[in-house]
Structure 1
C-alpha cells in the first residue's frame, strides 16, 4: 500500500471533492481512510472523494464515495468536477464520455464551464404535493417560500430519517421559484448528513419538477455556492436529453500520508 498519495481538490458551485488519479489502482478503498481524507479537521476536507479510473469502453470511470466513506450513487457536481480533472490530466480535449455507477455519461468543457448529460428520468412521483424522483441518486423535492431563512438542516434531517426513507436514505431539496426561468434550491444530502452548498443531482431533480408540464426546456438554478443551469426535453412522463451545466475549478493539490 502506498504511504503517500497525491490528491487534487476541486469544487463545483461550492460542492467540494477530493480527487485522486487511480488509473494505477493503488488507492486503498477503505472506508476509514476515505472518511478521514474527507474530514475537514483531520484530513483534506470534502463533501466526497472521487477516484478517476480507467474504463474499457469510455475515456475514464468515476468511482464516488460520500464523506462518510461509503461508495454512493451518482453525484452531478462530482461528475462535473471529475470531467474538469480529466481535462487537466489531458485525457480529452473538449468532449468526452465516462462511466459512473448509473451508467454512461457524455460531457463537454468550454472555458471552465462543464456540461454533463444525466440519465433519463422515467417518472416523477407526486406524494401529496411533494415529489420523488431519481436523477442518478434518489431525491425528494418540496416547494417552500422564504428559502433564505428556511431551516434546511432541521427539516431535511426529519424527512431523510422519517420511516419512509430511514433505511435507504434520500436527498431532500427545498425549492423556491424566483421567476419563470429561475429557481433557488437548498439541499440536505444523505451520506454527508448535512446541507451542502450545492447538489448537482438535486439541482437537476428540482429543475425537472419545476419544468414538468411547462413548455420550457431549461431553467437557471441558484444554489448557495453559485449558479447552475439544467436543460431537459419532455416526452410524455419521461424526461430525456437532460444536461447539467456549471463551473468546476481546481482549488489546490498536495500530498498526504495515509
Structure 2
C-alpha cells in the first residue's frame, strides 16, 4: 500500500541510450510496488525510463544494485544499468575509481574512468546453438541471430515471435538480438528486451552475448566493437576450456538530470 502523499528524489542516467531512474535507497524507504514502478517508467505518465534501479547498502560491498524492468517486475542483470549504477555510486561519493558491488547475479568489479565505465560481467559457460542462431545467458537470457541488414529488421515484431514463441515463451521468455557484422572487429546490434517489451537503444548483456557468439562463430578477436542505436560499446574477454571469463563491458554512463517526483 502506497502512502497518500510522498515525494521521491531521483536521478536519470543513460548508457548508450539505455536510460534508468536511479534511486539512492540506502535507507530502504522506497515503496517497492510493481504497478508504481511501472508507472514511474511510463514515458507519457511517469518519469520515463527503460528501468528503475535502487542503490542500497550491502555488507562487504560498496553497494547493492536492485534492478526493475519497465514493466515493474524485478529483473535479471542489466549491463548498461550496471554501468549507470557505478557512475551514480561514484557521483554519490561511495568510491573514487575502483568498486566492488553486488547485483542479482552475484558480485561485480568495475573501474570508473572519466569517459567510460569498465564493468566486469559474470563468467559465461555453456550456451547452445539454435539452428544457425545461438542462445546463452550473460546475466540475462539472450537469443542471438545474425542478419545481413540489421536496419531492415522489424525488431519488435520479429523479437516478440521469439520471446513469446513455443521454445522460450514457456521458460519466461528471452531477450532477442539481431546482429550484423560490419567488419572483422565490429558488430551492429539491435535488441528486443523482455520486460521493456520493445526495442531499446542499447542492451549491455545483449551486446556482451553477441560479442561472445561472434567470437565463437567467426573467430572475431577481442576487444570487439559494438555499435548500437544509442552509441558504441566494447567487449573484452578471455576464453578457456571452461567458457568465457574476465568479461568486461566498456562504454559511457552519463547523468542526464535529477529531480523530485511528487505523488499527491
Same fold, TM-score > 0.5, yes or no: yes
CA distance in 2, matches of 1:215, 1:229: 13
Change (3 A) 1:217 1:45: same
Contact 1:124 1:209 in 2 (8 A): no
Contact 1:74 1:102 in 2 (8 A): yes
CA distance in 2, matches of 1:52, 1:100: 10
**Higher mean C-alpha displacement, 193-202 vs 233-242:** 233-242
How well do the aligned residues superpose, as a CA RMSD in angstroms? 1.1
Question: What residue is the counterpart of 2:69 in the other structure?
Answer: 66
Change (3 A) 1:3 1:141: same
What are the residue-to-residue correspondences of 1:197-212 with 2, within 5 Å?
A: 197-212=201-216
CA distance in 1, matches of 2:242, 2:214: 14
Q: Are 2:174 and 1:170 equivalent residues in the alignment?
A: yes
**Higher mean C-alpha displacement, 207-216 vs 48-57:** 207-216
Contact 2:155 2:199 in 1 (8 A): yes
CA distance in 2, matches of 1:215, 1:85: 33
Q: Are 2:141 and 1:141 equivalent residues in the alignment?
A: no
Report the 3-state secondary structure (helix = DSSP H, G, I; strand = E; otherwise coil) of the residue aligned with 2:169.
Answer: coil
Q: Cα distance, 1:181 vs. partner?
A: 0.5
Q: Residue 6 of structure 2: which of 3, 6, 13 is its match?
A: 3
Q: Structure 1 length normalisation: TM-score?
A: 0.98
Q: Residue 100 of structure 1: which of 99, 103, 111 is its match?
A: 103
Q: Cα distance, 1:237 vs. partner?
A: 5.3
* Residues 37-82 of structure 1, C-alpha deviations (whole Å, 9 max, x = no match): 1010111000000000000011000000000000010000000000
Q: Cα distance, 1:111 vs. partner?
A: 1.1
Q: Structure 2 length normalisation: TM-score?
A: 0.96
CA distance in 1, matches of 2:224, 2:215: 8
Q: Are 2:77 and 1:112 equivalent residues in the alignment?
A: no
Contact 2:55 2:85 in 1 (8 A): yes
Contact 2:90 2:96 in 1 (8 A): yes
Report the 3-state secondary structure (helix = DSSP H, G, I; strand = E; otherwise coil) of the residue aligned with 1:212.
Answer: helix
Residue ranges of structure 2 left out of the alignment (5+ in a row): none
CA distance in 2, matches of 1:72, 1:64: 6
Contact 1:79 1:116 in 2 (8 A): yes
